[in-house]
Amino acid sequence: MNKERLDWVMSGLNRYKLTQKEDQFIKSTEDDFNRKNGITEQQEEKLENLYKEKSRILPNKNYFSPKESISPANTKMRRVRPKFMP
C-alpha cells in the first residue's frame, strides 16, 4: 500500500465513529507505515475490511444508541392521504 492510498483510507475512516480498538489499530498502522515505509499484508487487509465495513453505514451516526443520533424535535409526522373509492 502506498502513502496516497493509506491517507485516502485514513481520511475516509475519520468520517465514522470508531471503537477504541479500531482507533488504536488505525493509529498503530499509521505509525508502522511511517517507521517502516510500509505495512504488512495482514494490516493492509484488516484496514481495507474495516473501511468496507464502515463505508456501508452513514458517517457520524451512533448506531449503538439511536436516542443520541435522532432527536424527536427534528422528526416529522408523515401525513397519510385518504383513499377515495368511487
4-22 pLDDT tens trace:
888 888 888 888 888 889 8
Q: How far apart are CA 32 and CA 49, in angstroms?
A: 18
Per-residue confidence band for 33, with pLDDT thresholds at 50, 70 and 90: confident
Q: State the average pLDDT for the chain.
A: 78
Structure-block grid coordinates of residue 61: 451516526
Q: Are 60 and 15 in contact (CB under 8 A)?
A: yes
pTM, full prediction: 0.59
Per-residue confidence band for 37, with pLDDT thresholds at 50, 70 and 90: confident
Looking at residue 58, its pLDDT comes to: 62
Q: List the alpha helices (DSSP H) in the chain.
A: 3-13, 20-36, 41-55, 66-69
Structural domain spans, the chain: 3-74
Structure-block grid coordinates of residue 49: 475490511
The CB-side HSE value for 43 (13 A sphere, CA atoms) comes to 16
